[in-house]
Amino acid sequence: MASQSDESEKSATGLSGQDLWEEVRIEPVEIALPGGVGLTLRAFRKASELTPTEVVIDEDDPFEARKKRLAAEDEEEVIADDEFSALLTEGEVDQAVDEDAKAASEEPDPEDFEDEAVEEDEAADEDVPMFLSHKGKLLAFKTPESLVSFIRSGAPHDLAQLDSWGTLAERVQSTDIDPQADDRYELDLVVENLRGGHDSWDLPLLIAAGEVARDLGYALRLKPVILALSPGSPLDDLDDSLRTTESGGMGGFFGRRRLKKIGAQQASLGWRSVIGKISAAVDWRD
């Protein structure tokens, strides 16, 4: 039977444990790297709801590319308006309208493309990951107590923009920092496992590593990691074969055949580079 003090504490702090994480839609994550095991936080939100972490802008930065595309579309509209005004002053608008009408009669109906436009908008605003990070660095803590202390400190970080952050900062206790099994990643074992050869490859370990590496690459805007794991890359082919093999059945049979064709040395070297880039982007806070 719970004591009166226990009940008072519960009523004062509200939800705790997994119930708290589900309410705030944030989750504790444990990532083992060559430099140590770190605790941090991760959240998934619509891309339109988030301001990306601040980093030195790269010409090929995926976030800046999206902004440039939108700016280019706005610029095209302005140019079109200017050209129309020029035609008015030159008395050529009637001819231009006739030509546009003729072209429109020969072109597909714009309504035919409405579904495609909606699909593109939805894809651009899909759920994306964000970690407890600041200026392109992942903030990692070696103890639950140090992580909770930071959460309550009011120090700047990227998750502070979430509308549920205040609730978490007010209620979280060190006992709540207990990542689920699916939120524990062992990147420190990946290279060694790949070097052991195809027969010793740990499929769940490698698949999970690919998931968190993609999340970190996107959230921290690590261009080398994003490119290394991009569709069609050797590491992406490896990941696809691992998942097919893990699924079992006839697909698993063909997946194993594909894995046999992937060089263990090439895979281990590729992953070593990815883990090195991620490790360099970690800010150990204790």
Q: Are 93 and 159 within one domain?
A: no
Residue with tokens 């909770």: 148
- Residues 16 and 13: their CA atoms lie apart, in Å, by 8
Q: Are 115 and 146 within one domain?
A: no
Residue-level pLDDT at 254:
57
pTM of this structure: 0.74
Residues 230, 223: contact at Cβ < 8 Å? no
Asked whether residue 159 is domain-assigned, the answer is yes
Q: Please give the share of the chain, as a percent, with pLDDT higher than 90.
A: 58
Q: Are 92 and 160 within one domain?
A: no
Q: How confident is the model at residue 84 (pLDDT cuts 50, 70, 90)?
A: very low
Q: Are 173 and 251 within one domain?
A: yes
213-263: pLDDT as tens digits: 999 999 999 999 999 999 999 999 999 989 988 776 555 555 666 777 788
Q: What's the domain count of the chain?
A: 2
In this prediction, residues 121-143 reach a mean pLDDT of: 88
- Residues 206 and 262: their CA atoms lie apart, in Å, by 14
Query: Taking Cα atoms as reference points, which of 30, 38, 32, 41 lies closest to residue 172?
Result: 41
Residues 156, 134: contact at Cβ < 8 Å? yes
Q: Are 77 and 183 within one domain?
A: no
Q: Are 221 and 109 within one domain?
A: no
- Residues 92 and 112: their CA atoms lie apart, in Å, by 31
b/e map 56-84, b = 16+ CB within 10 Å: eeeeebebeeeeeeeeeeeeeeeeeeeee
Burial of 154 (0-12, 13-18, 19+ CB in 10 A): exposed
Asked whether residue 45 is domain-assigned, the answer is no
State the residue range of the domain holding 174. 127-284
Strand order in the sheet with 133-134: 133-134, 137-140, 282-284
Residue-level pLDDT at 245:
86
Asked whether residue 53 is domain-assigned, the answer is no
Of 78, 108, 124, which marks where a domain is finished?
124
Of 124, 152, 172, which marks where a domain is finished?
124
Q: Are 137 and 277 within one domain?
A: yes
